[in-house]
Amino acid sequence: AQSVSQHNHHVILSEAASLELGCNYSYGGTVNLFWYVQYPGQHLQLLLKYFSEDPLVKGIKGFEAEFIKSKFSFNLRKPSVQWSDTAEYFCAVNAYSGAGSYQLTFGKGTKLSVIP
Amino acid sequence: SQTIHQWPATLVQPVGSPLSLECTVEGTSNPNLYWYRQAAGRGLQLLFYSVGIGQISSEVPQNLSASRPQDRQFILSSKKLLLSDSGFYLCAWNTGSNQPQHFGDGTRLSIL
């Protein structure tokens, strides 16, 4: 079964600092990759997705992620964070499980706190 | 546009009481539907998923069950709640298992 590791439980940054959140997965087959964000008091929202196209994926609100197949990684980046980026971020891996089905596995999440 | 509704938003129940949480999706047909439990620091745990009416797959053995009486309705139930059933429950849907999932606002369940 696949697993997803998010290395940082809690990241604290000052506004304008650069962000990189790590995500590694263990699965050797076909995968689709997602980053979700959960702002305080809100539901989970899709931030960006990777579907076998350009390994550098652009998402909403200036976020991007790079899929490095050889490293089984899909790290999330933003060059300059804002206070409004304070949220919990979840990496998710959708792995092909056969017969046209995929199984989605989430990482444990990384809380980002941005200090004004 | 598609929307997903979960209710209630919060629920406080005594141990041993029954449970029914409801999730409905609008604006799409034959969605895949999912129930998750989200625990702080532990991410999302898939409980059940359904690819069609009456078709339920259980991922984790537990005190809960799920049903899909209509195409866009997914219900999470229990006959007798345990203290360990406390948590935050999320419903989600997508149009195919390889597609991103879209989440409801969740239900905070507290068992006393």
- Give the closest-approach CA distance of A15 to chain B in angstroms: 24
Q: Using the beta-carbon criterion (under 8 Å), do A90 and B44 form an inter-chain contact?
A: yes
Check: CB of residue B36 under 8 Å from CB of residue B101. no
Q: Are strands A101-106 and A3-5 parallel, antiparallel or unpaired?
A: unpaired
pLDDT tens digits, one per residue of B96-112? 988 999 999 999 999 99
Check: CB of residue A54 under 8 Å from CB of residue A66. no
Q: Using the beta-carbon criterion (under 8 Å), do A106 and B43 form an inter-chain contact?
A: yes
pLDDT tens digits, one per residue of B9-61? 999 999 999 999 999 999 999 999 999 999 877 889 999 999 999 999 988 87
* Amino acid making up residue B105: D
Check: CB of residue A9 under 8 Å from CB of residue A110. yes
Peptide bond into B8 cis (omega under 30): yes
Q: Using the beta-carbon criterion (under 8 Å), do B43 and A109 form an inter-chain contact?
A: yes
Considering only CB atoms, A102 lies closest to which of B46, B97, B106, namely B97
User: Which residues, at least 6 apart from A41, have a Cβ–Cβ distance to it below 8 Å?
Assistant: none
> 3-class SS at B19?
strand
Q: What distance in Å separates the CA atoms of residue A61 and residue A43, rounded to the nearest whole number?
A: 17
Q: Using the beta-carbon criterion (under 8 Å), do B103 and A44 form an inter-chain contact?
A: yes
Q: What distance in Å separates the CA atoms of residue A47 and residue A56, rounded to the nearest whole number?
A: 14
* Average pLDDT score over residue span A15-22: 97
Return the residue of B nearest to A5 by Cα: B43
* Average pLDDT score over residue span A50-63: 90
Please give the residue that has the higher pLDDT: either A96 or B20.
Answer: B20
